């Protein structure tokens, strides 16, 4: 399993697609900081709108920019899609899976090694995103001041954003191992948040749709919400990740290759 992980990292770090993805991510972040522009692709609540308005009115120092651009962190979903294809989907789409299995790599080790690499690389996307925006903003307008509960909110936001991203990709993982189709998995990751937002608007009294609103929760992760809302979101995401991963692995083990 360790050798499989090392091989995946080696291949990924020698892939032009990986570096193109990182360059575009950094370019988007730098441009957003320099132009002080915020865009959100998640559900746009009044609270989130208010937070963005406060951020636009404040000086874009390093500390304030982290808060401001946490409201558009759902863009990391789309920058994680190429990573998803280049890690988990690579051998499935290239029809090289059978070679790995016949060479002694069990299906369980294959599954978990790919997933570990993907988890690590998504974590790196967060490091690149927040690291780039903080450094750029600090050079432009200074570091700024960290208010009360700043680091507590930052820690909560990062945790919620990371597991929400994994919640979305858990469905993509399930579709990928059920169909062995990268296109189907990508469409699932892209279209699922839209579908959930639509269901949440239609059935506004069904609370589970709020907890499953991965994209909206990513952008709103800095906002303090009462009634243990973020704890419920975290539990929902973890349940989705565990269930989808379990079904994916079970399906993979029974599938003829």
> What is the structure's pLDDT at 40?
63
> What is the structure's pLDDT at 207?
83
Helices (H), the chain: 2-13, 16-35, 46-57, 62-69, 75-87, 90-93, 97-102, 107-141, 150-179, 182-202, 207-211, 214-219, 229-254
> What is the structure's pLDDT at 202?
83
CA dihedral 153, 154, 155, 156 (to 10 degrees): 50
Tokens representing 153 are 């909110």
**Which residue numbers in the chain have pLDDT < 50?**
none
Distance CA 67, CA 156 (A): 12
> What is the structure's pLDDT at 158?
96
Give residue-wise pLDDT tens across range 51-73: 777 766 677 889 999 998 998 89
Reported pTM: 0.90
> What is the structure's pLDDT at 101?
61
Q: What is the DSSP string of 152-203?
A: HHHHHHHHHHHHHHHHHHHHHHHHHHHH--HHHHHHHHHHHHHHHHHHHHHT
Domain ranges of the chain: 2-254
């Amino acid at each position: 399993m360790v050798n499989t992980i090392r091989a995946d990292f080696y291949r990924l770090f020698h892939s032009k697609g990986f570096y193109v993805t990182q360059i575009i991510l950094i370019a988007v972040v730098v441009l957003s900081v320099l132009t002080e522009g915020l865009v959100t692709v998640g559900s746009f609540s009044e609270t989130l709108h208010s937070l963005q308005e406060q951020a636009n009115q404040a000086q874009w120092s390093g500390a304030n920019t982290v808060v401001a651009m946490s409201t558009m962190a759902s863009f990391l979903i789309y920058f994680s899609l190429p990573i998803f294809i280049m890690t988990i989907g690579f051998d499935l789409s290239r029809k090289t899976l059978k070679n790995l299995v016949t060479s002694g790599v069990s299906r369980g080790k294959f599954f978990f090694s790919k997933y570990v690499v993907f988890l690590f690389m998504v974590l790196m996307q967060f490091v690149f995103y927040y690291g780039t925006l903080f450094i750029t903003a600090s050079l432009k307008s200074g570091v700024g001041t960290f208010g009360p509960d700043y680091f507590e909110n930052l820690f909560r936001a990062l945790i919620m954003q990371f597991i929400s991203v994994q919640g979305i990709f858990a469905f993509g993982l399930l579709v990928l191992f059920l169909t062995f189709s990268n296109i189907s998995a990508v469409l699932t990751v892209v279209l699922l948040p839209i579908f959930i937002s639509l269901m949440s608007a239609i059935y506004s009294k069904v609370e589970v749709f709020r907890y499953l609103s991965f994209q909206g929760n990513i952008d709103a992760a800095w906002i303090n919400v009462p009634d243990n809302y973020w704890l419920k979101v975290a539990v929902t995401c973890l349940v989705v990740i565990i269930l989808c991963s379990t079904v994916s692995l079970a399906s993979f083990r029974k599938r003829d290759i």
